[in-house]
Amino acid sequence: MTHEEKRAWIRLVVAVIAYGVYVILILTRADGRPLPETPYAATLLWSVGVAIVASMIVEIAVNTATPGASRATDERDKEILRRGDLIGQSFVIIGAVAAMLMALGGWDRFWIANVIYLCFVLSAILGGVAKVVLYRTGMPQW
């Protein structure tokens, strides 16, 4: 497994876990109240921050555990990373459009912030899955 494939796996797993913990915390805090009345901003920011830091720590730990592993990238790695990022970015666009329409429609900030966060996570997941699949199956000729 290449260094970049390991990074894709790490980021994919961390994104799923961080978002899952965020959702559980918000639903637990709601305690029967409507979700927009639930304090969410600090939890959302902590979730994003912890996910970023956790990804870095796990990457460092994996690199430390495999000191002899090559970190060199070739053209195939660069193309897989590019294609995976392009595929994942579709959800960033979907999230931006959804948030804009929600804001124009006067939706509560809770829903707008959460749809943006969800789309960022879906972008990370879709991009990560695309990279892993491309590493495992090879590059199609598009």
Flag whether 142 is in a domain: no
Give the pLDDT score at 69. Answer: 73
Token duo for residue 69: 């592993």
Flag whether 28 is in a domain: yes
Give the pLDDT score at 2. Answer: 83
**Whole domain around residue 37: which residue ranges?**
3-137
Cβ atoms of 131 and 84 within 8 Å: the answer is yes
Token duo for residue 6: 């390991």
Flag whether 121 is in a domain: yes
Comparing C-alpha atoms, which of 136, 125, 127 is closest to residue 13? 125
Give the pLDDT score at 3. Answer: 84
Give residue 122's Cα distance to chain centre: 6
Give the pLDDT score at 97. Answer: 97
- Reported pTM: 0.88
Give the pLDDT score at 111. Answer: 97
The percent of residues in the chain predicted with pLDDT above 70, rounded, is: 98
Q: Which residues, given as ranges, of the chain have pLDDT below 70?
A: 141-142
Under DSSP, is residue 69 helix (H, G, I), strand (E, B) or coil? coil
Question: How many separate domains does the chain show?
Answer: 1
Give the pLDDT score at 142. Answer: 60
